[in-house]
């Protein structure tokens, strides 16, 4: 295995380097023959990128998230240390910090909503541990010979407790609950920070030599238990943190592609591309913290996929280091007919086969015009029918998301305090018009939020087309502000779980994809199943069970569920929660839904893999694993 990894450093296997050099010489000769191509830039673009090399063809990125994540991120909750929901001395909810549009604002309705919908009370508060007690952290057990070899590579590493704990988990409910109440039984023994592809090759080679377990770490936003260390893993566990591999290596303006190191996080990628006038358009809800490599490894989807596509539509080329060597295609072309696409073995592999190190991805010029919108429908059925028709006519805006009534009420609870009497009057007028004049039932209506992007004239035409379709299903235009606020809440809503945990409320989200003819039934049956299971499991308060349609396709849609309940009086709330979530997942599958649309499988959902892809399909995946990684170096035990 060590020899195989060493081969990878030389170019991916026997004979590959001479072939690559031959192609390079031929192409260089063509370029030298063209006077327009004798510039130094041509030579640089033809040269293999060197580890930590400089040069104008590379754009080093100063990451928003530091190497020591604990400097700005919570150790036992979501997001930035300075951003959180709290109840102030007046008992009013507010969102702290200065990073978001909601920051510093008072939310006068949230307290009442929590009391009414979840039975929460400010009198029943839990105080989680303020600091990580390093004495509770399992000791680091690392082979000294491996450490000597690692030091010789000059690759940065750490055995400090905080660094290891930060990379021992994602953001599943049970993971955060454990951090608030105790500690994991098993965490990484050492964290390594490769600076480039070649560093990863060296680390994998050493892991093969010393028989270690590697768990790749990108942005840490997993909600599938993918980052949890197997409790019975006796080998040294290495957390391979890709965050220092965060450069845009080149931008090709003719082909509209960019070659990027896989550790870059979404917000840094979009900001850096934006400086050159480009974007990827890939915006998952976690884009502040999730990484390009993580998107590839989980087959991610973004809120604007209607224009830009999902990650599988955006990827042109992938380079991945495995114990057998480096996997990559020989050219960077839009499509190939060379047997099964090896990219589809890599995308969705969830760290079980190797480490994605570099990705070539499609880019687009930043759209000149962007416009938000919203439509209110009499009920959820009408809203779904409208989205179906928009998908049928293939005229969906960049993003269109439909929330049910419960989620609409929830969104209203997050509305900031109105600054003026006039604004309050206008809000009241809109509500009167919709509920009294148009006859919409406040307990039935639902709302779709819209985002249009592109050329201004085309956006306005597109907007009219969508609103005309909506009108046929009883939809009323509800304004730009509501649409924009809906998308703004996307990035702060994850912070609410930490507030809930302070008041005996646990919550989680999960998603699926489903054919159009099953959307309504699936949504209704899953929400009813959650309510029924809560009652049977002894939950004393009515649960919050809601959904939204977040992405649309020709043949179906992605449905996203939120679920929470007050666990006062329950001795083992996480066990009860897991039983209810399992029942909800069974209901999804029974109603024709998928195991996951974009969150992935991890260890959380792998019990249903055989049912989802068939016994033979699972055997195919196992065969790939056994060939690429026969000694289970990438031993996170996801998927299989």
What does the mean pLDDT of the chain come to? 91
Q: Report residue 438's pLDDT band, with 50, 70 and 90 as the boundaries.
A: confident
Please pick, among 308, 503, 560, 562, the residue that the annotation labels catalytic. Answer: 560
Q: Report residue 42's pLDDT band, with 50, 70 and 90 as the boundaries.
A: very low
> How far is CA 636 from each of CA 217, 242, 360, rounded to the nearest angstrom?
11, 16, 26
Residue 365 in 3-state DSSP?
Answer: strand
60-74, 210-224, 373-387, 427-441 — which is least confidently predicted?
Answer: 427-441
Q: Which residues, in sequence order, are CB contacts of 46 under 8 Å at separation 6+?
A: 24, 27, 28, 31
Q: Which residue has the higher pLDDT, 375 or 420?
A: 375
User: Above 90 in pLDDT, residue 429?
Assistant: no
- In this prediction, what percent of the chain has a pLDDT beyond 90? 85
Reported as a single tens digit per residue, the pLDDT across 455-478 is 999 999 999 999 999 999 999 999
Q: Which residues, in sequence order, are CB contacts of 352 under 8 Å at separation 6+?
A: 625, 629, 634, 636, 637, 638, 639, 640
2-6, 229-233, 384-388 — which is least confidently predicted?
Answer: 2-6
Reported as a single tens digit per residue, the pLDDT across 323-358 is 999 999 999 999 999 999 999 999 999 999 999 999
Place of tokens 């992935």: 600
Examine the residue annotation and report whether 560 is marked as an active-site residue of this protein.
yes
The percent helix, strand, coil of the chain (3-state, each to 5) is 40, 20, 40
CB atoms near residue 541 (< 10 Å): 17
pTM of the model: 0.91
Closest among 401, 390, 396 to 454, alpha carbons compared: 396
264 neighbors 248 (Cβ within 8 angstroms)? yes
User: Above 80 in pLDDT, residue 176?
Assistant: yes
User: Above 90 in pLDDT, residue 2?
Assistant: no
CB atoms near residue 542 (< 10 Å): 15
- Letter string b/e over residues 158-190, b meaning 16 or more CB atoms within 10 A of that residue's CB: bebbbbbbbbbbbbbbbbbbbbbeebbeebbbb
Per-residue model confidence (pLDDT) at position 62: 81
6-20, 397-411, 497-511, 609-623 — which is least confidently predicted?
Answer: 6-20
User: Above 70 in pLDDT, residue 5?
Assistant: no
Whole-angstrom distance, CA of residue 480 vs CA of residue 261: 37
Give the length of the chain.
Answer: 640
Per-residue model confidence (pLDDT) at position 130: 85
User: Above 90 in pLDDT, residue 64?
Assistant: yes
Reported as a single tens digit per residue, the pLDDT across 43-61 is 334 334 456 544 333 444 6
Per-residue model confidence (pLDDT) at position 465: 98
- In this prediction, what percent of the chain has a pLDDT beyond 70? 88
Q: Which residues, in sequence order, are CB contacts of 80 under 8 Å at separation 6+?
A: 72, 73, 74, 97, 99
* DSSP letter (8 states) at residue 243: T
DSSP, residue by residue, 252-270: ETTTTEEEEETT-BHHHHH
Per-residue model confidence (pLDDT) at position 44: 38
Give the angle 486-565-639 at the CA atoms, nearest 5°: 80
DSSP, residue by residue, 545-570: EEEEEEEE-SSEEEEEEEEEEE-TT-
Pairing state between β 355-362 and 315-322: antiparallel
User: What are the start-end ranges of the H helices in 278-379?
Assistant: 292-298, 305-308, 311-314, 343-346
Per-residue model confidence (pLDDT) at position 30: 52
Strands, E, within 257-397: which ranges?
A: 257-261, 278-279, 315-322, 325-327, 355-362, 364-365, 369-377
> How far is CA 134 from each of CA 81, 100, 131, 176, 217, rounded to the nearest angstrom?
19, 32, 9, 17, 21
Tokens representing 487 are 């998308």
Per-residue model confidence (pLDDT) at position 26: 58
Whole-angstrom distance, CA of residue 163 vs CA of residue 159: 7
User: Above 60 in pLDDT, residue 99?
Assistant: yes
Mean pLDDT computed over 545-556: 98
DSSP, residue by residue, 577-609: HHHHHHHHHHHHHHTT--S-SSS--TTTSGGGH
Closest among 323, 298, 324 to 315, alpha carbons compared: 298
Q: Report residue 422's pLDDT band, with 50, 70 and 90 as the boundaries.
A: very low
Reported as a single tens digit per residue, the pLDDT across 405-414 is 999 999 999 9
Whole-angstrom distance, CA of residue 154 vs CA of residue 152: 5
Per-residue model confidence (pLDDT) at position 22: 58
Per-residue model confidence (pLDDT) at position 426: 47
User: Above 60 in pLDDT, residue 149?
Assistant: yes
Per-residue model confidence (pLDDT) at position 127: 85
* Terminal alpha carbon distance of the chain: 22
């Amino acid at each position: 295995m060590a020899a195989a990894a060493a081969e990878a450093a030389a170019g991916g296997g026997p004979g590959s380097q001479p072939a690559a050099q031959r192609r390079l010489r031929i192409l260089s000769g063509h370029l030298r023959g063209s006077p327009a191509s004798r510039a130094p830039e041509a030579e640089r673009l033809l040269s293999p990128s060197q580890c930590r090399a400089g040069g104008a063809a590379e754009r080093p990125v100063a990451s928003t998230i530091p190497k020591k994540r604990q400097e700005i991120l919570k150790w036992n909750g979501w997001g930035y240390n300075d951003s959180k929901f709290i109840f102030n001395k007046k008992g009013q909810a507010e969102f702290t910090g200065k990073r978001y549009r909601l920051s510093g604002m008072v939310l006068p309705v949230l307290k009442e909503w929590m009391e009414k919908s979840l039975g929460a009370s400010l009198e029943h508060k839990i105080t989680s541990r303020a600091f990580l007690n390093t004495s509770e952290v399992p000791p680091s057990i690392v082979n000294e010979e491996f450490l000597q070899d690692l030091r010789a590579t000059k690759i940065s590493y750490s055995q400090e407790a905080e660094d290891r704990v930060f990379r021992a988990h994602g953001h599943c409910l049970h993971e955060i609950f454990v951090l608030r109440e105790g500690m994991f039984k098993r965490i990484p023994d050492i964290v390594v920070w490769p600076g480039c592809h070649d560093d990863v090759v060296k680390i994998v080679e050493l892991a093969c030599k010393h028989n270690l377990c590697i768990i790749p770490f990108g942005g840490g936003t997993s909600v599938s238990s993918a980052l949890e260390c197997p409790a019975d893993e006796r080998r040294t566990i290495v957390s391979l943190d890709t965050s220092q591999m965060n450069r845009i290596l080149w931008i090709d303006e003719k082909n509209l592609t960019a070659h990027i190191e896989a550790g870059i996080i979404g917000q840094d990628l979009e900001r850096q591309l934006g400086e050159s006038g480009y974007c990827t358009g890939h915006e998952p809800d976690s884009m502040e913290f999730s990484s390009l490599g993580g998107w590839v490894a989980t087959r991610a989807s973004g809120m604007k996929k209607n224009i830009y596509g999902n990650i599988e539509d955006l990827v042109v080329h992938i380079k991945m280091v495995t114990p057998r060597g480096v996997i990559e295609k020989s050219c960077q072309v839009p499509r190939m007919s060379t047997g099964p696409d090896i990219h589809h073995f890599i995308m969705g592999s969830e760290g079980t086969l190797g480490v994605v190190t570099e990705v070539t991805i499609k880019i687009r010029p930043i759209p000149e015009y962007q416009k938000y919108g919203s439509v209110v429908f009499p009920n959820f059925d009408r809203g779904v029918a409208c989205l179906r028709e928009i998908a049928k006519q293939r005229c969906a805006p960049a993003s269109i998301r439909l929330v049910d009534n419960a989620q609409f009420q929830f969104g209203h609870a997050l509305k900031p305090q109105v600054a003026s009497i006039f604004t309050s009057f206008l809000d009241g007028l809109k509500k009167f018009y919709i509920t009294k004049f148009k006859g919409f039932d406040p307990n039935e209506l639902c709302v779709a939020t819209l985002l249009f992007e592109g050329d201004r004239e085309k956006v306005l035409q597109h907007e009219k087309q969508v609103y005309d379709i909506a009108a046929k299903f009883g939809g009323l235009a509800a304004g730009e502000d509501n649409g924009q606020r809906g998308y703004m809440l996307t990035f702060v809503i994850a912070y609410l779980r930490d507030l809930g945990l302070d008041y005996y409320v646990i919550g989680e989200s999960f998603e699926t994809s489903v054919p159009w003819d099953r959307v309504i039934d699936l949504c209704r049956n899953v929400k009813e199943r959650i309510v029924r299971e809560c009652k049977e499991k002894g939950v004393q308060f009515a649960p919050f069970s809601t959904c939204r349609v977040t992405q649309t396709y020709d043949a179906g849609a992605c449905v996203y569920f939120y679920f929470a309940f007050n666990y006062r009086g329950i001795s083992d709330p996480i066990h009860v929660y897991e039983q209810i979530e399992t029942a909800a997942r069974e209901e999804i599958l029974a109603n024709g839904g998928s195991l996951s649309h974009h969150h992935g499988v991890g260890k959380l959902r792998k019990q249903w893999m055989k049912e989802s892809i068939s016994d033979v399909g699972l055997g195919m995946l196992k065969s790939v694993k056994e060939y690429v990684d026969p000694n289970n170096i990438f031993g996170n035990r996801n998927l299989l």
